[in-house]
Each structure stands twice: as C-alpha cells, then as structure tokens.
Amino acid sequence: MLLSSRQSEIMSIAKEHGRVLVDDLSARFGVTPQTIRKDLNDLCDSRALTRIHGGAVFPSGNENVKYDARRSMAATEKQAIGRMAAAIIPDNSSLFINIGTTTEAVGEALADHKDLMVITNNINVANRLRVYPFIEVVIAGGVVRGSDGGIVGEAAVDFIRQFKVDFAVIGVSAIDEDGALLDFDYREVKVAQAIIANARHVILVSDASKFERTAPVRIGHISQVHTFITDHCPVPSIRQICAERDVRLIETNVQNGDEGAKAVSKNIF
C-alpha cells in the first residue's frame, strides 16, 4: 500500500503512542472525521493498524510503546487506579511494586501511608518514595533497563525470592481475552512471576487500553491475582473469569448503580 503523507504521519503517531483517535487526528490535520476514518480504514485493511472504537491501535506484538508515551496515555485513569489500590493497602504492611507506569501511579498514591516496607524493581518508584520518612524502600539488584528504569534479570529474581510480603502491585503490557497476562521482556516476566509467587494478596492494576494490545511473553493468568483494578473492563470473558475464579474486579469509572461500583464498596478481605 502506498501511503499518503498524512497516513504516514498517522502511522508514526500510532507507533509512538500505541493508538490514535479519530477526533484527535481530525483536529491535528484540520480535516473532517470522515476523512480520518477513511485513512484509518485503509491502514487497517492493509493490516498496518488495528481498528478500535473511535480510532486504531498499532498492532506490534513484540515492541513496547516508549516509556514517556506510556506515561501520558490514560494518565487520569492511571491516577484513579493508583488511588484505589492505595486505599486497599493499609499502614504497617509490606508490599512489592513492579515495573510499569500504572504501578508508579500506585506508588505516588502511597505517599501518605505510614510504616510501609516497599520492595521494588522500579527505580522510578524507589526514587519517589525514598523521601518519605515513614516508608522504607528496598530496591532489587540486577540489570537496569535504560528505557524505563526497570531492574530485571536473574539477580532481581533471586532478590525478590528472599521476601514474603502482604501485597504485590503488578502491572502488565497486555491482557488477552482468555485471561492471559502478557509482557514484552522475558527478563521482566521472570521478576513479575517471582513477585506473584511471594505475596499473600496480588493486586493487578491496568487501564482499559491493555485489552486492546498484545505482547509475546506470558506472565501468568488473571486467575492468579486476588484483586483487579481497572478504569473499565469491556471484555465479557474477563468479567466471567473474575466471577468464576473469585477475583475481585474494581472499576474506577463506573456509574452509580453499576456492578463495579458495588464491588468498590465491599471489604477487600
């Protein structure tokens, strides 16, 4: 397919940010939404992009979106998810926090907690929490990934296995409709698996965009977590798995009276 200059730029935006929206592109290029929809249809027909409601996503299954772009994606949703996760975690507890921009939002929301021990393989989380006198920060050793400050590798796995904590806060790059939790770096996956195995209560935090993405490396299955916090879960099969496997699903943007809102009001334990 021979791309127009506008379609080429749309592809560049989609690769950098992971997805593009019709309204945003219409405003950016000064053309009608119908024109953008035609561009996206052409790109999706050629399998350059994958169509979603209101836009399209870059379908790469082996390369993650850049860290700065991930931080800006669904930032408001991640903050709400972070606050909800922090509300679950009491003072005087120990927890793991792994790599990810949503887990970093949880770390930021923990600033007012007291007497926490936070063990992390995320340099960004450690750097933000180290200044709070009532939070003890323990950072894993290993290879520091320059792209996002994540610490990965066998040394990090061995370090994590020394602990048994009250909570684990984990993020993922993608959630498959069959419940598989996916990521891009097999070294990071090994650390995440060790974190899940050594926590009494596992909290998965992920915004709804993760249902639209894919990644090649399997961390585990959503049935292995105890609480799943998201802004919205639009996938019926995920809802069914959570109900059948006793995974508490909490949605932060549901309307009053919605089942997700009822879940928020229940006790976690």
Going by pLDDT thresholds of 50, 70 and 90, the confidence category of residue 64 is low
Q: How are beta strands 50-52 and 55-57 bridged, if at all?
A: antiparallel
Q: How many CB atoms lie within 10 A of CB 114?
A: 11
Task: Report pLDDT for 215.
Answer: 86
8 A C-beta contact, residue 197 and residue 157: no
Tell me 209's DSSP state.
G
- Residue 227 is encoded by which pair of tokens? 């609480």
The span from the CA of 71 to the CA of 63, in Å, is 16
| Range in 39-53, 171-185, 241-255 with the lowest mean pLDDT | 39-53
Residue 41 has pLDDT above 70, yes or no: yes
- Residue 150 is encoded by which pair of tokens? 């994540």
Q: How many CB atoms lie within 10 A of CB 184?
A: 18
The span from the CA of 201 to the CA of 60, in Å, is 32
Going by pLDDT thresholds of 50, 70 and 90, the confidence category of residue 259 is very low
**Helix, strand or coil for residue 238?**
helix
The span from the CA of 159 to the CA of 138, in Å, is 10
Under CATH, which number does the domain 68-265 receive? 3.40.50.1360
Contacts of 48 (CB under 8 A, 6+ apart): 1, 11
| Range in 99-103, 123-127, 255-259 with the lowest mean pLDDT | 255-259
pTM for this entry: 0.74
Contacts of 235 (CB under 8 A, 6+ apart): 175, 177, 211
- Rounded mean pLDDT, 12-40: 91
Under CATH, which number does the domain 5-59 receive? 1.10.10.10
Task: Report pLDDT for 71.
Answer: 60
Domain boundaries, the chain: 5-59, 68-265
The span from the CA of 203 to the CA of 100, in Å, is 13
